[in-house]
């Protein structure tokens, strides 16, 4: 039996996970945000098996997170670039990064990757869920409702 799919779920989180919810996809997108574009570079930086990378890149292109651009001068040589949809995962990845920094232990002897605001050189601020007026909200301040499909 194949993996359970969530693509028709009524929950947007489930649909999102259906597209990028595996072990590698988000890491590939993250690398792409750091500037990686070529197959071999992804492969070496992530340590991913080549066939799996191939499969993931195909899937990410198929669902519009990446696009595959031919940059060969006399034939085919490819780059994988983020689309707007892919770039929009920035928020998700930074939220995940902040959670990881706060709650998971790093190997204490290695330098840690941190994200800085290019203009000021300072770390970015903490992400927050906010209400319509910009006031912070916690889990307990929200409620799940059902919106009927607009006809």
Site for a second copy in 10-69 (CB under 8 A): 10-19, 21-23, 26-27, 30, 33-34, 47-48, 64
Q: Of these partners, a second copy, DNA, none, which one is at the site of residue 62 (CB under 5 to 8 Å by kind)?
A: none
CB neighbour class for 95 (10 Å; exposed up to 12, middle 13-18, buried from 19): middle
Q: Which of 15, 31, 67, 79 binds DNA (CB under 7 A)?
A: 79
Q: Which of residues 79-138 bind a second copy (CB under 8 A)?
A: 82, 85, 87-120, 122-125, 127-134, 137-138
Q: Of these partners, DNA, a second copy, none, which one is at the site of residue 55 (CB under 5 to 8 Å by kind)?
A: DNA
86 binds DNA (CB under 7 A): no
45 binds DNA (CB under 7 A): no
- What Rg value do the Cα atoms of the chain yield, rounded? 18
Strand partners, 66: 82
**Rounded Cα gap, residues 116 and 123, in angstroms:** 4
Q: CA nearest 3: which of 13, 17, 12, 11?
A: 17
Non-local CB neighbours of 143 within 8 Å, separated by 6+ positions: none
22 binds DNA (CB under 7 A): yes
136 binds DNA (CB under 7 A): no
35 binds DNA (CB under 7 A): no
8 binds DNA (CB under 7 A): no
Q: Of these partners, DNA, a second copy, none, which one is at the site of residue 40 (CB under 5 to 8 Å by kind)?
A: DNA
82 vs 65, 74, 111, 125, CA distance in Å? 6, 24, 27, 24
Contact (Cβ atoms closer than 8 angstroms) between residue 50 and residue 40: no
Binding residues for DNA (CB under 7 A)? 1-4, 22-24, 38-40, 47-52, 54-55, 57, 68, 71-79
């Amino acid at each position: 039996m194949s993996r359970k799919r969530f693509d028709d779920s009524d929950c947007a989180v489930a649909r999102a996970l259906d597209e990028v919810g595996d072990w590698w996809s988000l890491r590939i997108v993250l690398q792409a945000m750091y500037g990686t574009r070529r197959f071999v570079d992804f492969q070496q930086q992530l340590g991913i098996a080549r066939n799996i990378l191939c499969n993931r890149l195909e899937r990410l292109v198929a669902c519009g997170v990446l696009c595959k651009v031919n940059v060969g001068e006399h034939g085919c040589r490819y780059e994988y670039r983020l689309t707007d949809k892919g770039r929009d995962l920035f928020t998700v990845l930074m939220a995940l990064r902040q959670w990881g920094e706060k709650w998971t232990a790093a190997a204490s002897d290695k330098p840690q990757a941190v994200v800085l605001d290019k203009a000021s050189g300072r770390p970015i601020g903490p992400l927050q869920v906010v209400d319509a007026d910009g006031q912070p909200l916690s889990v307990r301040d929200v409620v799940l409702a059902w919106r009927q499909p607009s006809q």
